[in-house]
A and B are shown apart, each in its own frame.
Chain A
Amino acid sequence: QLQLQESGPGLVKPSETLSLTCTVSGGSISSSSYYWGWIRQPPGKGLEWIGSIFYSGSTYYNVSLKSRVTISVDTSKNQFSLKLTSVTAADTAVYYCARRIVVVVADYGMDVWGQGTTVTVSS
């Protein structure tokens, strides 16, 4: 059974870079049917998509975050990562990684999610 696990610092200082990794277990990240993505949820608020990556390295980003976000993939480790630069308190959130199913060009939704990791931006 495929599982996703987020890891990274739970506390980041303002203006610094938030770095998280999602480890995929129970399956290969190198599949043509999936995109791998990051979603966040500020306390008491809704879900916000950050971006997605294909195993080849092709990426899609939320336009509102694009200038600060980099998502990368390491197929040898079955991992993908998120970097968010110049963070502020507004970036405090639970960060989830998730698998999105894409068949040809059709979107089938995000069927597997990590448990989420809380990141607080504070000095």
Chain B
Amino acid sequence: SYELTQPLSVSVALGQTARITCGGNNIGSKNVHWYQQKPGQAPVLVIYRDRDRPSGIPERFSGSNSGNTATLTISRAQAGDEADYYCQVWDSSTVVFGGGTKLTVL
């Protein structure tokens, strides 16, 4: 079965740029989606199909995907960006989630 690997945690200074990676075998050939989940809340889609933003998601959120790594980039990080982030793909008729990354804004 397909696996997605994310770092357990990422820290970023307030106002700086955070990058969260999602590794998978030839993930660049798949559509990657990213979700933000704050404590006690349902996940929210922040990036779909590698780099597209749903309406209402700030331009500070961007994505890329190539080779074996997809990346979620959060520019000018704010305290409100502190959350868990999950990547997700569709593979072999299965939804696959990464293990999640906790983003801490210092």
Contacts and interface: CB of A to CB of B under 8 A. Distances in A.
Interface of A: 37, 39, 46-49, 52, 60, 62-63, 96, 100-101, 106-111, 113-116
A63 B54 contact: no
Given A47-B100, A48-B97, A49-B94, A115 B42 contact: yes
Given A49-B97, A110-B88, 14 more contacts: A46-B100, A47-B35, A48-B97, A49-B94, A62-B95, A63-B94, A106-B49, A108-B33, A110-B33, A110-B43, A110-B45, A113-B43, A114-B42, A116-B42
Contact of B54 (A39, A52, A111): A111
Nearest to B42: A113
Contacts of B42: 96, 113-116
Contacts of B100: 46-47
B1 interface: yes
B45 A46 contact: no
Given A96-B42, A116-B42, A60 B86 contact: no
A113 B44 CA distance: 8
B99 A60 contact: no
Contacts of B35: 47, 109-110
A83 to B, nearest CB: 19
A110 to B, nearest CB: 6
Identify which of A107, A114, A116 gathers the most chain B CB atoms within 10 Å of its CB. Answer: A107
B96 interface: yes
Given A108-B49, A109-B88, A49 B1 contact: no
A109 B100 CA distance: 16
B48 interface: yes
B78 interface: no
Contacts of A62: 94-95
Nearest to A113: B42
